[in-house]
Amino acid sequence: MTTFTTTVESPVGPLLLTSDGTALTRVLFDAPADPSWSTEPCAVLDRATAQLAEYFAGERTDFDLPLEPTGTPFQLTTWQALREIPYAETINYGQLALRVGNARASRAVGLANGRNPISIVVPCHRVIGANGSLTGYGGGLDRKRLLLDLERRVAGAEDPQLSLL
């Protein structure tokens, strides 16, 4: 199977996007492309690039892309729950654990969240600490803050959970 790739410049730095030709499979920060991946045109990557540009311009609050992340059944369930967090809103790891059906799985959802291969589109940046603080983000806390600030500005909302920042 062919993996298609492109790199997109963004306000949070270069993003590596990959596709299997039918769905988006990765959006990664600061990742090198595998030399065996194809840089040939790919309609899915074109759509993803356009939608990410709209997101960063404040013109898109929801992504409409076919996604095909690779992970365990628990990770896939967690990543689906992340997609259900409304734009410009945040939840904590305990709330995410409840959404996946196991109130005692805060650490497990945190680990799954950290392994999300489709950053931004699957909004793992919307998960914060129980006390409202920014906690772990694979792209770094500065990027997490930038993404949350962008969404709050576009939505015209203040998130009381983030007032501790």
**Residue burial 40-55, b: 16+ Cβ < 10 Å; e: rest:** eebebbebbbebbeeb
Q: Taking 50 as the threshold, does the pLDDT of residue 165 lie above it? A: no
Catalytic: which of 45, 52, 85, 124?
124
In order of 50, 65, 122, 134, the CA distances from 95 in angstroms are: 32, 26, 17, 15
- Scanning the structure block, which residue is given the tokens 């291969």? 117
Provide the token pair at 84: 């259900």
Q: Taking 70 as the threshold, does the pLDDT of residue 158 lie above it? A: no
Averaged pLDDT for residues 149-164: 72
Please state the pTM of the whole predicted model.
Answer: 0.91
Averaged pLDDT for residues 100-113: 92
Domain with CATH 1.10.10.10 in the chain: 73-162
What's the CATH number for 73-162? 1.10.10.10
Averaged pLDDT for residues 88-103: 94
Provide the token pair at 6: 């492109």
Residue 42 appears among annotated catalytic residues: no
Report pLDDT for 111.
94
How do residues 24-77 score in pLDDT, each as one tens digit?
999 999 899 999 999 999 999 999 999 999 999 999 999 999 999 999 999 999
Q: At what angle do helices 73-83 and 106-114 cross, to 10 degrees?
A: 80
Q: How many Cβ atoms from other residues are within 10 Å of residue 134's Cβ? A: 18
Lowest-confidence segment of 3-7, 94-98, 129-133 by average pLDDT: 129-133
Q: pLDDT averaged over the chain? A: 92
